[in-house]
Structures are given as structure tokens and as C-alpha cells.
Structure 1
Amino acid sequence: MSTYILGLSAYYHDSAACLLRDGVIVTAAQEERFSRKKHDAGFPIHAIRHCLETAQISLSDLEAIAFYDKPLVKFERLLETYLGFAPSGIRSFAAAMPVWLKEKLFLKKMLRDEFKMLTGEKKPTLPPLLFGEHHESHAASAFYPSPFESAAILCMDGVGEWATTSAWHGEGHSLTPLWEIPFPHSLGLLYSAFTYYTGFKVNSGEYKVMGLAPYGQPKYVQKIYDHLLDLKPDGTFRMNMDYFNYCTGLTMTNEKFDDLFDGPPRKPETLLTQKEMDLARSIQEVTEEAMLRLSRTLHRETGTRHLCLAGGVALNCVGNGRVLRETPYEGLWIQPAAGDAGGALGAAFSAWHQFLDQERTPSPADAMRGSLLGPSFSDDEVEAYLNRIEAPYQRLSDDDLYDRVADVLASEQVVGWFQDRMEFGPRALGARSIIGDARSPKMQSVMNLKIKFRESFRPFAPSVLRERVSDYFEMDTDSPYMLLVAPVREARRTVMTEEQKELWGIELLNVPRSDIPAVTHVDYSARVQTVDEDKNPRYYRLIKAFEAKTGSGVIVNTSFNVRGEPIVCTPEDAYRCFMRTEIDVLVLGNCVLEKADQKPWVEEEDWREEFALD
């Protein structure tokens, strides 16, 4: 008889649920994909239902439900922090405490009440509720699905209960904590402080800061070291809290921070200046240096050949690329759902391997199966939906489909590509993607301004055939989860004119950098996704068909959504996004829809009001 474990993360941001059967992932999904609310923090009722329906089981069939952190320990940290800074922070304290005293402090009861609502039963039969520590869940999500028998594990995020950075050693099915850096000293919160100060949304806009960094100069690096961060040679650090407000206030930074950087935070949606670009470049360089020092220290301490990463900072793919290139590790594996959503997965794995003491046999390719772990829809289901809304389409055979879409891409049209199981984690990996021709000089601006409706500086990622990655980029390793940045090969770069060399900042945006300009950032870098036939066979076959027509084994890949919207989950989500944007062709499984054939799209209100800006 199979053993099922349900893992949950909820109530802070990026709620998610995952289901293990005998230690193997059955499915995993974020609540935002169902609720259509970006970074949804609520109880993941839709994600849980999906998990149970996929396995065709009920709650009573579960061996355990594992939650990704310990609320009582987190409450202790909040109380100690407020007491430590008193009388400062009384407004923040007054805002936070009612929620804790009414709900979060009694999380076990709250979860039981939520499950009552899910089942509709007054006394549902529930398995044991297990609570792991936040960073333990991150570490488990990084190590247990990895391909390594043993590894060092580094977790870096904003904050869990107390830990903001933690080091672990994984061996077989055991996970041993080594050391941690406690709140309020946090690499993630330091980066978020600059996210806030440069006018972007905390817990959402950090990747914008990373994308903006190459437009700037690192002119504030020394100021950060002199005033904000004492970074030791071993990578450990302390922050000067005189400049920050997140312990007790309602903002990330304070007036002293403003004085240090000559003015108040940039107001969201206002013009980006060279100052913001220089700040982004500076905090990015500081973060990369901390990541490198911590990784090297962990290698010296453990002697292991492999490193696993998780926590929100592990989504900093520029830093990850440097860790891969500049540290002694032979192998690097990063959990694709590195943030809080992945904590659900880690909690479930911890319950299986530690609570139930089950052995572990690593898979050479990792246990995430390309992170394609969410809902899927058959061609019959797709057709039923399209017929219901009377949308014109063609259903093609596989061979005709790949040939047709390759032609569409080669003609510089943009395609919405919806296939098989939805991705788990923040990246679209070829199942819920918007794709285009990487060779097109206009593709980056078209996708940003007419389809994603987002800032023009934002770079796009390449999806490249695994066997051809070294033809385009200075790397020759697997990067299936789009978590490594690598330089574009020198031979493919476009030599800048003397006039172009005089440009700086955002002026560089429209200067083609290589023969794949749509995926080459201004510093000649790219956030690489390698595509192989085993992990994503349909996406692989499409790129192979495109290669056969054009000679190019790389295309543009961005997530299938507009700015502020979660990645699409269902055919209905995909069709709606297709009609709201200037995507030319929509491919739902084997069904192909041309924009020109569709009825005019009419909505009573401006749909842009539906999604909060990120």
C-alpha cells in the first residue's frame, strides 16, 4: 500500500502544495496559478484539491501533512525583535499582533478548520500535522531531489523563524545543520531594501534589480561596505540596522538610508535614472561576493564535491553562475522553486526521509522531472473548451504541429506555447511559455511592450538545445531550470562602434549585442535554459524543428502571462492572455489558433486593473 505525504507552505507569500507517493513527487503547484492572485499567501485550497484529485485519494489516505515552518518560533522572533527595539515600532507591533493572536499563533487549529472547509465535513479524518523549520524545509527541498549522494547545502533568504542564512550537510537520507546567521542580518532583506529603495515591489521586484544591474556602474559598492554591511572573508556578515526600518517599521529603509544615498526612494512607475541603475549594479555585486565567500567557506568546511542551493537568494541566477564558475565544486544543483513555494516540497521530503526514516536513492538527472509537476490538459479537454467559446482552431498531428510552429517563429511572430504539465516554481520552462525567434532584433522590445506590458529594460531568456549550449554560451553544463547566467560566446558578439561605446545606462538597450540579440543582455550575458529530450520532449522537438529550418538551436522563452499576472494554468487562462495581448499564434497542445481568425475581444473594464503591478 502506498504512503502519501502532503506538503504545504502558506500564510506569508507563494503558498503551495505538493504530494509525495512513497517518496516520489506526484504533483506540486502554487496557489497563485489557480486563484490568479500573484504570490497568493492564502491557504492553498485549490493546490491541495489538485494534489488529491491527481492521485485520486482523500485526506484520510495521507500518512502525514507537513507544514514548512514553525509558527511559534516565528512568533518568538517577532516578540523579541519588538522588545529589543522598543519603543520604536509600536505602529508595526499594533498592526501585526492581532493577526498573530487571532490566527497564526494557533496554526494547527487554523489548518484543521481550513481542511474542514475543504472537505465539507465537521470532523474530517486528518493525519498527523508535522511542522518543520523554515530553513530545514529549504535545505530539504535543495538536497533530497538533487542528483547527489552527498552535498553541502546553502540556504539564503529574507528570514524564516530566526535564520536568514544557513549551512547544512546532506548525506544519504540525513540532513545535518552546521551553522546559521540569525535575523535581522539578512542578505535577502538587504537586497529587498534596495528593491524597495529603487522603486520596485519587495518579494516580487528583486529580479528587476538583477536585470537592471548591467546598465549601471558599481559606484556605491564601497559605501555599502562602509555603512551597511560588514562582510567577513568567510562570507558571514552583520548589517548596521541604523539604516533599516524592517525590524519595527512599515518600510524597508529609513531617513538615514535616504541621506546616505542622497534622496528618498524612487516612486514606483516613475522614470528610472542612472542612480537606480548604479544602485542595482552595486547591490548585485555585493550579493554575488557574499554568495561566493559563503560557498567557498562551506566547501572548506565540508570537503564535499557538490553544492545545493535554496531560499529566495538562490533565484539570483547571476550569482549562481559565478558560484558555478568560480568555486571549487564539481556540481551545483539549485531547487527550481527556491522560494517559499519550494518549502512545501522540502517539508514533505523531510517528513518522508527524517520523520519516517526512509532511505534515499538519488536520480542521476534529479527528482524534479524538469519541474513539470502541475496540472495538464488533454487535447480533448482543450477542444471542448474551444468549441464551447466558438474559437476557430486547427488540430494538427505532432509532425505538422512542430513544422507549422517552427515556420511561425522563423517569420518573427510570437507564439503562446501551452503544453503538458505546468511548471512548479517561478520560471516558465517550455510548458506555459511565450516564445519567439532569438535572432530577431525587434523581439525583445515587442515582447516587453506589446505582450508583457512591462519595463523595456527587462531581458529575456534563451531556451537552447542541450547539445548546442556551448555553441552559443560560455558554459557546457545542464541548466534546465533557467537558474544560471552565462556569457554569450565571444564569436557571436557584435562589435560595438566607437559611438556606441560612448553610450551608458538605458541608452544601451537598443544596441544589438550578438547574433541572438533578443536574449543577449547589455553585458553580453544570458539566463540560460538548456532543453533536453528526456525532461521536456515536446519543447525539445519544437526547437529541433526550428533548428532544421533556420540552423538556430535557440529561441526566446518568457513566461506565459502579462505583467502582474501569475503564469497561466488552464486553456482558458491561456486564451484570455492570448486575446489581451499581441501574441500572434496560440498553441494549446495540438490545437493551433491564429489571432487573425478570432472574434474581437471585448471586456467591460480595462483588464490591466485586474493585476497589481509587480
Structure 2
Amino acid sequence: MSTNVIGIAAFFHDSACCLLQDGKITAAAEEERFSRIKADPTLPKEAFKYCLEQGDITIADIDCIAYYEDPEKKLARQFWSGVLGNHPDLLHQINPSMVEDQIREVLGYEGPIKYYDHHSSHAASSFFFSGFKESAILTVDGVGEWATTTYGMGKGNTIDLFEEVHFPDSLGLLYSTITSYLGFGVNDGEYKVMGLAPYGKPLYVDKIYELVQQGADGQYTLDMKYFNFIRGKTMYSELLPALFGQPVRREDSSMDQFHKDVAKSIQVALEEILLQKVNYLHKKTNTNNLCMAGGVALNCVANGQILRKGPFENLFVQPAANDAGGAIGAAALAHIEITGERPAEKKLQHVYLGPAYSSKSVDRLLRSTSIQYKDCRDDYDTLLALTAERLAQGKVIGWFQGRMEFGPRSLGARSILADPRNVTMRDRINAMVKKREGFRPFAPAVLDAKAAEHFDLDHPSPFMLETCQVVSGFDLPAITHVDGSARVQTVHRETNPRFYDLIKAFYELTGCPILLNTSFNIKGEPIVCTPEDATRCFITTDIDSLVMEDFIIDRDGNNLEILKLLLTSQSARPGGITHDVYTFV
């Protein structure tokens, strides 16, 4: 009889649900993909339904629901910080049984619920799916209950987190404070700061080190006079802009060299601190392996530095290192508690864990419209050849294939693709498709066997979680950042044969085994989930062609202006959570 454990992360941001069956991940998805509310924090009821459907089980078959943090500990920290007084809309959450009440009432679940500490869930989400029999573990984020950074060791089916840094001292909140100071949204704009950093010089590292001081062993402290996130309505106090000698940048205002230099400075300081801490962790654990999770582990530039300059030979970063991945970690811990066995012996090979849609359902959707399309259901090679030709001609492709990715990266299931050799492509996609800041880079997807020829990379990188230098003989302006780096995804036929075959077809046509790959969405919206989402995004942007399962839809040959007008004139979808301060909910 199989063991079915549901893991849930909810009520802050990136809410998600996963299903472990006999210790293997059957399904996992973020709620935002279904609700279309970016970073949706609510109970993941639609993701829950999907997990049951994918696992072919009913609610009665669930052995346990595992929740990714301890509500009582979290509430104690919220009361201590006084944050609930500043956010009266959160007062309904002061009930420590709120999580259980929601699971019982909204999901209709009557079975056992197990709770695990936030950083334990992060740690488990990485170690138990790393393939390592033993490993050091580092988790770094804004805050869980009280912990903001943990150091640990995993062996077999056990994890020992032997040291913590406690709130309010937090590298995640330090980075988020600078993110907010630079005019970007907290819990969303940290990617932008990382992308902006290579345009600057580390002129203000000394100022950053006035904000954070290194402590003994794994400890560090923030100088709280510069911060206001505990009880205030901004991340920073008035002393922080005074320290830098410049006022806070307002969103969408001009980006000066000063802002670029501050971004570079916080990135450099973060890398230096993390390198010091992983050296400490290595001395404590004496192992060659390191597992990482927590939101800071999504800083792929820092990850690359840790691997190149740090003491560990092998690094595994949970692909959904943010709170969404905590659902997987909690489920893993519950599986061990129920069965006494480690949930997964092999390394996680892919994160194509979301819903898929049949060609029949796509055909039914397209037939209900006036859109003209090419049906390639009986000719796989033609589908690939025609798509590769369009890419080589400089067209931007919306690529919708198979099961949706879990986590923040599009990895060839819900992707926008283009020719990385095209000098105009980066600016075109940023301005006319993604509708985002022009400084933000795009990533390359490369055939695994060809990666070392074009990138300074000697190991697989299937999850796009580290950067390295571009060493290709091709000029690749669309995916090469200003510092000569790229965030590489190595594509393997075993895990995504259709995406692999497309890149191979492009390679055979052009000699280039690389495609530009970015997420299939526009600014402010989640990555597309359904064929309807993909069609809407295609129509309302300047994507040239949509390749959806076995069908090709070209903008040329279709009069989409009326549909575009209708879709763009509709009332906007609900936005994601936006705030100037970490809300700690």
C-alpha cells in the first residue's frame, strides 16, 4: 500500500502544494499558476486539487498533510516584532490554529496534520533530493519562525541543524532592504538587483559593512538603527539614505550609476559573507558536499562564486529554493516520520511536476476561435523543423509543451525562446514581450554535451541556478550579461526530449546548440499554466509564433488586433502581493 503525503506552503508568498507517493514527487505546483495572482499567498486549494488528480487519489487516500512551518512559533515572533499592530488587516491571523482551520475548512481534510520548522523544511527540500548520502546544509532567507540562517549536516534519513542566526539579523532582509532602497519591490525585486549589479562598481561595500557585521562561527548581526522592518512600514530607517548620501529611488524613476554601484556593492558583500560562512560550515562538517535552500539560494551569481571559490566540491541547490519548495521539504520530513525511510535516494533530475494538457484539448481550444494554425500531430519532425526555422529567422517563439515546471525558472516547458546570436533580441524581448527593465539578462539553454564548448562549466546545470563565463566562439549578445556571464541551463534528452530535440534541430540548421530561454509571461504576471494562459499572452504581446503542443500559430497570417484589443481592454487581473516592507505573514 502506497504512502501519500501532501506538503503545503502558504500564508506568506509563493504558496504551493506537492504530493509525495512512496517518497517520490508525483506532483508539485504553485498556487499562482492557477489563480493568476503573482506570488499568491493563499492556501493552495487549486494546486491541492491538481496534486490529487495527478496522483490519481482522493482526499481519503492522504496519509498526512505536512505544513512547512510552525504557526505557534511564527506567531510568537510576530507578536514580539509588533508587526500585527502595523498591519491590522493581518489580525485575523493571530489565531494559532488558523492554518489547521483553513486546511480543515477549505480543503475538507480531516486526517493528521504535521508541522515542521520553516528552515527544517528548507533543509529537507534540498538534502533529501540531492542524491548525497551525506552533506553540509546551508539555508538562508528573510525569516522563518525565528531563524534566518541555519547550518546543518545531513546523513541518511536525518538532518541535524546545529546552529542558527535569529531574527532580526538576516542576510535575506539585508538584501531586501537594499532592494527596496533601490526602488524595487520586496520579495520580487531581488532578482533585479542581482541583474543590475554587473553594471556597477563595488564602491559602497564599506557602507554595506556598516549595516552588517560578521560574528564568530556562523553568526552575523545587523545594525538595526539603519533598518525599520520590525515595526515600521518601510525596510529602512531614515539613517540608511543618509549613510549612502542619496535619497530612496522611486519605482520607475531613472536608474543612475549610483544605483548600479549600490547594487554591485550589496551583491559583492553578500558573496563575501556567504563564502566566509560556507568555509566555516565546511570546517564543521568535513564533507565535500553542500546543499542549499531558502530564498537567498536563488541568487545564482552567489551560487557560482560558492562553487568556484568555496571549499565544497559539489553543490546542490533546491530548484524551488524559495518558500514554495518548503512544501516538498515538509512532505519529506513527514514521509520519514511515517515510514522511517529516506524519501528519495536519487538526485532530483527535473522539476516538470505541474499539469500537462493534451493535443486534443489544445485543438479544441483553437477550434473555438478564428485563429489559423498548423496541425503537426502526425509529423513531429516537421514541428521541430518549422520551429527551428522560425527561430533562425529571428522570430520570438512562445513554447508550451508537456508538464509545467515547479519553481521560479522556466526550463523549456513554459518558455519564450529566441536566437541568442541576434544582437537586437534582448532589447526586443525586454521591451515588447516581457515589458520589463532593459538591464535584465536572459538565460541560455544549451545541449548538455555542448555546454563546455560555450560556457566555463564542467558539470550539469539543469535548473539554471548558477552563473559562469561565456567562452563560446559564437557572439551571443542576447544571453551574455555585461560582465561576460550567463545563467546556464543544460538540457538533457532524458528529462525533456522535446526541448532537447528542438535545440538539436536549431543546431543542425545553424551550427549553434543554444537558445535564449526566458519565462513565458509578461511583467507582473505568473508564468503561464494553461493553453488559455499561453494564447492570451501570445495575443497581447509581440511574440511572433506560439508552438503549443503539436500546433504552430503564427502572428503573420492571423488578424489578432481585435482579439488583442478585447483582451487588453478587459479589467486587469488581480495583482500580486506588493509592499515596501517584509510583512512577515
User: TM class by shorter-chain length?
Assistant: over 0.9
| Partners of 1:235 and 1:292 within 8 A in 2 | no
User: What's the TM-score once normalised by structure 1's chain length?
Assistant: 0.91
- Cα 1:189–1:559 change in 2 (3 A) is same
User: How big is the shift at 1:219?
Assistant: 0.7
User: Match of 2:448, as an amino acid?
Assistant: R
Residue equivalent to 1:114: 106
Distance 1:237 1:231 in 2: 4
Say whether 1:551 aligns with 2:544.
no
Q: One-letter code of the match for 1:444?
A: R
2:201 counterpart letter in structure 1: Q
Q: Which residue of 1 aligns with 2:293?
A: 310
CA shift in 2, pair 1:449/1:361, >3 Å = closer
Distance 2:221 2:22 in 1: 42
- How far is the alpha carbon of 1:389 from its aligned partner? 2.1
Give yes or no for contact 1:91–1:249 (8 Å, CA) kept in 2: no
Seen in structure 2, the aligned counterparts of structure 1 residues 548 and 39 have a Cα distance that, compared at 3 Å, is: same
Asked if the contact 2:73/2:145 (under 8 Å) is kept, the reply is: yes
Q: Residue 166 of structure 2 aligns to which amino acid in structure 1?
A: P
Query: What are the within-5 Å matches in structure 2 for residues 23-38 of structure 1?
Result: 23-38=23-38
- Pick one of 534, 543, 563 that aligns with 1:583: 543
Structure 2 distance, partners of 1:463, 1:90, is: 44
Distance 1:80 1:415 in 2: 50
Query: Which deviations, in whole Å up to 9, do the C-alpha atoms of 1:136-179 show, x marking residues without a partner?
Result: 00001011111211111100000000000001211111111111
- The corresponding residue for 1:446 is 428
Distance 2:538 2:570 in 1: 13
Between the aligned partners of 1:360 and 1:320, the Cα distance in structure 2 is 26
State the one-letter code of the partner of 1:412: G
Q: Gaps spanning 5+ residues in structure 2: where?
A: 579-585
**Percent identity over the alignment?**
45
Q: 2:202 aligns with which of 197, 208, 218?
A: 218
Q: Work out the CA distance in 1 between the residues paired with 2:131 and 2:541.
A: 40
SS at match of 1:596: coil
- Given that 2:136 and 2:154 are in contact with CA atoms closer than 8 Å, whether structure 1 keeps it comes out as yes
Whole-angstrom CA distance in 2 between matches of 1:146 and 1:538: 25
How much does 1:443 deviate?
0.6
Moved more, 571-580 or 268-277: 268-277
Give, in angstroms, the shift of residue 476 of structure 1: 1.3
Alignment of 1:587-606 (within 5 A): 587-600=547-560, 601=563, 602-603=565-566, 606=569
Q: Report the counterpart of residue 86 of structure 1 in structure 2.
A: none
The 2-side partners of 1:401 and 1:229 are apart by 54
- Which shifted more, 599-608 or 139-148? 599-608
1:466 partnered with 2:459 = no
Structure 1 residues without counterparts, runs of 5 or longer: 83-88, 117-123, 493-513
Q: How much does 1:390 deviate?
A: 3.3
The separation in 1 between residues aligned to 2:38 and 2:557, in whole angstroms, is: 31
What is aligned with 2:525? 565
Query: Structure 2 counterpart of 1:99, which letter?
Result: H
**Equivalent residue number for residue 98 of structure 1:** 91
1:483 equivalent among 465, 488, 491: 465
**Which amino acid in structure 2 is aligned with residue 129 of structure 1?**
I
**CA pair 106-233 structure 1, distance change in 2 beyond 3 A:** closer
The C-alpha deviation readout for 1:308-348, integer Å capped at 9, x for no partner, is: 11000000000000111112222111100000000111110
Letter in 2 for 1:45: K
Partner of 1:9: 9
1:173–1:354 contact (8 Å) kept in structure 2? no
Partner of residue 283, structure 1: 266
- Quote the offset at 1:235 in angstroms: 5.2
| TM superposition shift of 1:568 | 0.2
Provide the rounded CA distance (Å) in 1 between the counterparts of 2:104 and 2:426.
48
Change (3 A) 1:63 1:91: closer
Q: Contact 1:138/1:338 (CA < 8 Å) preserved in 2?
A: yes
Q: In terms of mean alpha carbon deviation, does 460-469 or 383-392 score higher? A: 383-392
Could you say which residue in structure 2 is the equivalent of 1:19? 19
Contact 2:36–2:573 (CA under 8 A) maintained in structure 1: no
Correspondence 1:52 to 2:44: no
Instruction: Give the TM-score of the pair, scaled to structure 2.
Output: 0.95
Cα 1:326/1:306, change in 2 over 3 Å: same
Q: Alignment partner for residue 236 of structure 1, among 216, 219, 223?
A: 219
Answer with 602-611 or 347-356: which moved more. 602-611
> CA-to-partner distance for each residue in 1:380-422, whole Å, 9 max, x for gaps?
1111111122321112121111111111111110000000000
Q: Is the 8 A contact 2:178 2:266 kept in 1?
A: yes
> 1:232/1:418 Cα in 2 relative to 1: closer, same or farther (>3 Å)?
same
Partner of 1:385: 365
Count of aligned positions:
572
CA distance in 1, matches of 2:575, 2:3: 40
Counterpart AA for 2:458: D
Q: 1:422 pairs with 396, 404, 416, which one? A: 404
Question: RMSD of the alignment, in Å?
Answer: 1.7
Partner of 1:175: 159
1:395 to 375, 398, 403: 375
Q: Which amino acid aligns with 1:603?
A: L
